[in-house]
Amino acid sequence: MKKTTKAAAICLSTMLAAQSLPLMPAGVNAADTPEPVYFNDFESGDLTGWANRGGEDTTEVSISTDKASSGKSALMASGQSETWNGPALRIDNILKPNTEYLFSAKVVGRYYTNCTLSWQYTDSDGNVHYANYKTLQGSDWQEFKDIKVSFTEEMTDVFIYFEGTKEDVFVDDVTITEVPYTPIQEDLPSLKDVYHDYFKIGTALTPDDMASKSFMALVEKHYNESITVGNQMKPDSVLDLKKTKANYEETGDDETIFVSFGAAKPILNYCQKNKIPVRIHTLVWHSQTPDWFFKEGFSEEKDAAWVTPEKMLKRMESYIKNYFETLLELYPDVDFYACDVVNEAVDDHTSGPREKGSNNIQQGQSAWVSVFGDNSFIEPAFTYARKYAPASCKLYYNDYNEFAQGKHEAILKIVEDLKSKNLIDGIGMQSHLDVRQGQDAWPSISSYEKAIKNFAETGLDIQITELDATIPDNSAKSQETQAQYYSDLFDLYVKYADKISAVIMWGVTDEKSWRHTQYPLVFDGTYQAKPAFKAIVDDMQYTTAASTKTTTTTTLTTTTSETSESLAKGDLLMGDVNDDGKVDVKDAVMLARYVGGDTTAKLSENGEKQADIDDKNGIAVGDLTKLLRVLAHLDTL
């Protein structure tokens, strides 16, 4: 993790951009693009699998020649009584579970296109879930292109559907292809092995992540010491309105809260099968919590009255009790080793309680404060969690911007009070960070260390719970800055390792991150390690899980998937420009310098022969292009 020049990575990134290489997953050539597993241009009149989603959806589907993107026919949807009605394709009857697909389709409205592509499924507890992929608008045909879709084996009645208008909608050229497997870099050191003697390394998962075999290969190699369920163990996924309200209407009991882990089961089943410890996130939060939980009669009406604090305490206890009892009944052998009991209770601006109101109406407002008037709900939440959580489950207060001075001091007061009553075990530092150009980072490393030091002095455990660090763009310069920042962060984590028990990345690849437009993680969208990865393993001493005999200094070498023998040409190793016995990014750097006229880039006799990769006109830009394509898994030698 020393301060080193990332010249190789910078050169590779720059040259890839300069050569305008195609944006395809590593290891996949254009010729390898798979055939569609489903295609329908509706020219044959086949509407198998297409209908509405039942219930109050009044959509009717038919074949029409009024409009067509290609050919003469398209699917026409008509008769929608509500904008959420629309044509739907049930996919769990035609596709495989736990498999990632790309969905494409063209759509146009009768007069104007206003269409949202959405997804629906029923979980194993019978609860229905919805999500929106993308909305398109325009006066002509619009295309949903390569939308990633998947479902797990626990899901049923899985639909992809088009919604957004009561007018006629036409759909054409529907194509579904399976995403090919992209090999990960198996030769990289495992993050969990590198830091095994210091703290747990983990990540967050959602069910749709699990369909990508490449994604899960990274999880299993680097992050399988801890899993946080990204969204499906939060209140809005767990609180069961249907059962809670049915019980209330039958018995008049408006204090008992029913819960369901149907949405979380795909991930929890995976953790159970693979014996991976789980962080529970989260019990009490102003966000992603339905308002009915706080309303009289469990009403979903906007203007319904809030319950009294006394009644809310009874609901809170029922919820937390049933949360843990249900979870432990379903998964008695899963190690739920940590729980974020209360999340983000401190206001960023005032460093006090959040503003009263509904976060579902005005972001940042808190229904908890609407009921209690302040943050007095925090202590009972920890009291009930301590009462019902297993003894092995440590309890945490979790927050972001935890290093900002006023907020930091407010968090310290909360946790010190809870600690004095033996209600808390640790502090969750979310660590959603921003790496700006130069040293203007949020926070600076010195400010971040001060926060760690102050939290450590409380005697409570620290967990880094949601780590990511954004950059303004994906340029080589930004990646270099990010790499140095990550290096400095992990230097701190090692320095305070006796106080830090876990470091959890909030995601695995940039593409799947909630901050994906700002490239915050250490693996890119093609499952390859970024400079930031090398920065946090460089010069670390570690012992692999498979061996206790030797201690290894890690190094990061980017290689092609072929062996050296397959790259050899006679006694030469083609592409080995620096003549060191292997083909890696250092050769691309050397070749770029040589082709660019750098007189200090000296090649050996063998190096000159091995640099003429395309065997045309001596050493030239074409050789560099070829080598870069090989290193990017877009070509072979």
Active site residues: 344, 466
What residues pair up with 449 in beta bridges, in sequence order?
A: none
Q: In terms of Cα–Cα distance, which of 239, 324, 339, 346 is closest to 281?
A: 339
Three-class SS state of 26: coil
Q: Measured between alpha carbons, how far is 373 from 368 in angstroms, rounded to an integer?
A: 8
Q: Is the dihedral of CA 12, 18, 23, 27 positive or negative?
A: negative
Q: Measured between alpha carbons, how far is 620 from 592 in angstroms, rounded to an integer?
A: 9
H helical segments located in 348-475: 367-372, 378-388, 405-420, 445-456
Q: Measured between alpha carbons, how far is 490 from 296 in angstroms, rounded to an integer?
A: 48
Residue 408: both structure tokens together: 């930091």
Residue 183: both structure tokens together: 């090999």
* Sequence-separated (6 or more) residues with CB below 8 Å from residue 169: 76, 77, 78, 80, 86, 87, 107, 108, 109, 110, 115, 162
Q: Exposed e or buried b for every residue in 381-392, given b needs 16+ CB within 10 A?
A: bbbbbbebbeee
Pairing of strands 156-163, 88-90: antiparallel
Question: Which string of DSSP letters, residue by residue, matches 220-237?
Answer: HHH-TT-EEESSTTSHHH
3-class SS shares of the chain: helix, strand, coil, % to 5: 30, 25, 45
